[in-house]
Every structure is written in C-alpha cells, then in structure tokens.
Amino acid sequence: MNSLPTTSTAATILVVDDEPDLRTLYELTLLREGYRVETAGSIQEAREQLQGQRFDVVITDMRLPDGMGMELLLRLRDQSRPERCIVMTAYGSAENAVEALRTGAFDYLTKPVDLKQFRQVVASAIQGIGAVPAPGCAPASFAASALGSAASLPQDETALQALVGNSPSMLAVKQRIAKVAKGMAPVLVHGESGTGKELVARALHACSQRAQGPLVAVNCGAIPENLLEAEFFGARKGSYTGATQDRPGYFQAAQGGTLFLDEIGDLPLAMQAKLLRAIQERKIRPLGSTQEEAVDVRVVSATHRDLAAEVQGGSFRQDLYYRLNVIEITLPSLRERREDLPALCQALLRKLAHESGLPSPELDAVSLGQIAQLSLPGNVRELENVLHRAIALGDEGPLRIPPDSLPSGELPVSASLTPAPPPPLPAAGPATLPEDLQSWLDEQEREILIRALQDNGFNRTATAARLGISLRQIRYRIERLGIDLPAEGHKHHGDNA
C-alpha cells in the first residue's frame, strides 16, 4: 500500500460521514487549516477512496449506513496501512471509544464534535508523519513512520535502549512500547516496585509523536489529599489559602505531551472521579475558576498493585480503571529474567561509575556469580543499590559484592519491627571503631528509620518529609533494610503502599 502516491506534501485527510452537513463542516474546517481533504458518505465509498490513494489521516464516524466505522479501522490495521485513524463516537459511548483505541485508532472524538478539539486532534495525528502540517501546528519533529509499525527512529532507539535487557519478556515489552507509543490510547504500566515502570513511560513518550512536548511525571501517592485537585488541575489566585497567584497544574504542564501518573492506585476515590472526568471530557477546571480549559495530554499510568482486585474491593473506580487500562504493559520482575543480569550490571555500573566519577569496575565471573545469588526483591532498583555500594566500598580490581548484601548476610525481608522496641540511638557514635562500617551504618539507618516511622504513625510520606528525603528514597531504604511495616501502616492517608 505504501507504493500508492500521496498527491502532495500537504497532509491528506479522508473524512467519512453520512451526514452531508457535518461532512461539509469537517471538510471546510480542515481546508481552512491547509490540509487536502477527500470525503466519503459510506464505508463503500471510503474503501474506494482508500484503494486509489494513500492518506495521512482517516476520520470516520462510527455509525454509517452500510456498517460501522470500526470496519474501516480493522481493514486499515489488517492491511498494515499507514493511515492514522480518528473515530467519532456518540456522546456517552465510552465503550466504543475504548474499543477503537484498543483496535489501533490514533484517537477518538465525541459527538457533537467540538471544532477546536477536532483541529487539535487532527494536528496531533499529523504530527510526526512527514506530511506538511497545517500552519500553526508544531513542526513535524521526525521522519515518516507508520502507525502500528515498529519503525525505529533514532530517539526511539535511545529511549528503548535505556530499558536494558534482551530476554524474551523484555523484548516483548519493547515491541509493545514501539507499537503503541504513537496514538492517544491511555497506557497502564504494571509491575513490581523497581522494575522500570517509569522508564517505560519515558520510552512511550520518546517514541510518540509528542516526544518534543513535555513529559510530566507525578507520584500520586506523594501528594497530600487536600492539594490533589490544585496540583492536577491548577488553581486561580485566591482559590485557597496560600494561592497568591494563578498556578498551572500537571495537566496544563503536560499540554501537548504526556502525563505520567505513577502509583495511580494511591489516588483517593474522590480524586479518581475528577481524573476520570478530565480524561473523558479532555477538559479541566482549575480550582477557583468558572472556565473549563481544553487539555491535550496523553495519560500513562503505573501501579505495582493489582488494580483489578482493587476494583473488586471497591477502592478503585471501575470506570477509571477501564479508561486507564486501554493498553496494558506488564513488566517482568528481575526473577523472571535472570538472563538479563549481566547486561543490566554492565549498564548500571557504567551509569553509576559515571555519576560518581569513579572508574567502572570489572565485572568478572566471581562478581556475576555473587550477584546471581541475590534474591533482589526490589528488582533493578535494588540491584542498582547493591552495585552502588559495591563501587563505593570496593578497592581497585574486579567488582566484589559487600558481604552483607549476600544471602547469608541479608536481613530477612519480613523482619518485623513491631515486637521489639528500637534501641536508643547512640549519642555520639560508637566508642570503638566498627569492624564493618557498612553494617554499622545500615544498623544506624535502620534504627533511625524505625524511630521516625513510629513517630509518624508509620506514614512514609510524613516520615520522609521529617527526615528530609523523598518518598521514593524512603521506600527504597525500607525495602533495602528489610523493615516490615505493620499492616495498618499501608493504609495511612497520603501514603504509598
């Protein structure tokens, strides 16, 4: 099909709608934007047009006299046609929209179509396909690539290479990223902590037509509940105490780009409803404003939880889950891809050595053997930490894993902190020098963390703030030191499970 000529360098669009008035409205709107436009009133007419010519974008109504717009979409997909397809669905038919996105539609529009949104969605579909964009559109940022093809462009490759590992499960993840990156379908990334969910979100963004736009990463579990709405949607001056000027929210900051919502399972139910509305309507209303603002944002979310089970349990909204999980990418744990360990170690050592300004130590059979013994429940993040310590504590020569990182010295992951009260902190360090500095430091860190956690009702957000470290850091340290939080600790408001 790619051999069919495009008639001009201006983007060419096929509009399929059986209502002549609407067809004309869409046609005139697009012509005014500088695109070339053809129209069809039925599936049959659209097929004929597609047989004779290659388009950049096909915009089709869902309900047509001789069938459903979905048929056209399936046909384009099955023939590996490069056209990006935008489907127009009736208001309230969320299922159609989600089904179209799952089938490979670039995006969807809800009828009655808002013309501003219409122009925005078309502009976004034109971006990055090599055709001349309409005046006023952001310039195409990279060369032609086809929807559905795993065409690898230089920045795509770099982004995918950041995800180290060529095990079958990681290759499948990378292929899926390349396949679904272009388009507006929301993606839910699922995987244990430290498996690289944020890296996947970054790769999705870098491989998308929005790569030149912003990527805004948000940890939903780290924002106090009373600030969520203002943080997400922005706030007008005076809308709450302390709002001394208009402030944009994450949606505004991610305009034209990607919004990465990490730990989406931590979002309270009230905020879930507001997020659902923003995603459905593509409009947000900043706190204290009477006006809604249109937003053009692709949403990628991530969780380590079993959201389907949370839906069953009533703590996560089913409709939001359905909207976020249009495309799911599941990351394997490190246990499931042990064959990636050598490549991961090499890449992480290079990165860590570069960051610390130390030479990258040699990874020999002994060090690899030692690493292979580690259970690494914290996945790549934990591996990274072990290697970090090995570099910091190591002498010149091949890398050696510190003894306390090895299984015999490993602190039990489930070691509970509740039965024994923590020993008091030493007032001024040990009287004699410790024989094993790292173990001694770990013990001090453990005690400080336990005390701070207890003081803060086991709320990790509050504890992290108290200790001046990030939530991510505290989660990491808790895991590394095998501190087991009491069950209630997971439920504290604004905290991360």
Ligand X SMILES: Nc1ncnc2c1ncn2[C@@H]1O[C@H](COP(=O)(O)OP(=O)(O)OP(=O)(O)O)[C@@H](O)[C@H]1O
Q: Which of 18, 45, 114, 198 binds ligand X (CB under 6 A)?
A: 198
Q: How many residues at the interface with ligand X, by CB under 6 A?
A: 18
Q: Which of 128, 183, 196, 234 binds ligand X (CB under 6 A)?
A: 196
Residue-wise DSSP of 276-344: HHHHHHSEE--BT-SS-EE---EEEEEESS-HHHHHHHTSS-HHHHHHHTSEEEEPPPGGGGGGGHHHH
Specify the DSSP element, H or E, that contains 154: helix 154-161
User: Which is closer to ligand X, CB of 296 or CB of 479?
Assistant: 479
Residue 106-145 contact track with ligand X, rule CB under 6 A, x = bound: ----------------------------------------
CB of 267 to ligand X, least distance (A): 15
CB of 263 to ligand X, least distance (A): 7
Q: Tokens 């013990």 map to which residue?
A: 443
State how far the Cα of 58 lies from the Cα of 118, in Å rounded to an integer: 13
Q: Is 479 in the site for ligand X (CB under 6 A)?
A: no
Q: Which stretch binds ligand X (CB under 6 A): 98-106, 186-194, 248-256, 265-273?
A: 186-194
State how far the Cα of 476 lies from the Cα of 481, in Å rounded to an integer: 9
Q: Which stretch binds ligand X (CB under 6 A): 12-20, 39-47, 161-169, 420-428?
A: 161-169
Rounded to the nearest 5 degrees, what angle is found at the Cα of 34, between the Cα atoms of 28 and 38? 55
Q: Is 197 in the site for ligand X (CB under 6 A)?
A: yes
Asked if residues 385 and 378 have their Cβ atoms less than 8 Å apart, the reply is: yes
Q: Which stretch binds ligand X (CB under 6 A): 145-153, 157-165, 365-373, 431-439?
A: 157-165
State how far the Cα of 217 lies from the Cα of 11, in Å rounded to an integer: 32
Q: Which stretch binds ligand X (CB under 6 A): 187-195, 273-281, 396-404, 425-433?
A: 187-195
CB of 170 to ligand X, least distance (A): 7
Q: Is 385 in the site for ligand X (CB under 6 A)?
A: no
Q: Which of 199, 216, 299, 371 binds ligand X (CB under 6 A)?
A: 199
Burial category of 277 from C-beta neighbours within 10 Å (exposed 0-12, middle 13-18, buried 19 and up)? middle
Do strands 57-61 and 12-16 pair parallel, antiparallel, or not at all (unpaired)? parallel
Nearest-CA neighbor of 380 among 343, 353, 414, 413?
Answer: 343
Q: Which stretch binds ligand X (CB under 6 A): 99-107, 191-199, 204-212, 313-321?
A: 191-199
| Residue 425 three-state SS | coil
Q: Is 193 in the site for ligand X (CB under 6 A)?
A: yes
Q: Is 163 in the site for ligand X (CB under 6 A)?
A: yes
Q: Which amino acid is at 422?
A: P
Task: List beta partners, residue 60.
Answer: 16, 87
Q: Which of 107, 296, 384, 495 binds ligand X (CB under 6 A)?
A: 384
| Residue 84 three-state SS | strand
258-277 positions binding ligand X, by CB under 6 A: 262
Residue nearest to ligand X (CB): 196
Where along the sequence are the contacts to ligand X (CB under 6 A)?
Answer: 163-165, 191, 193-199, 262, 304, 344, 347, 380-381, 384
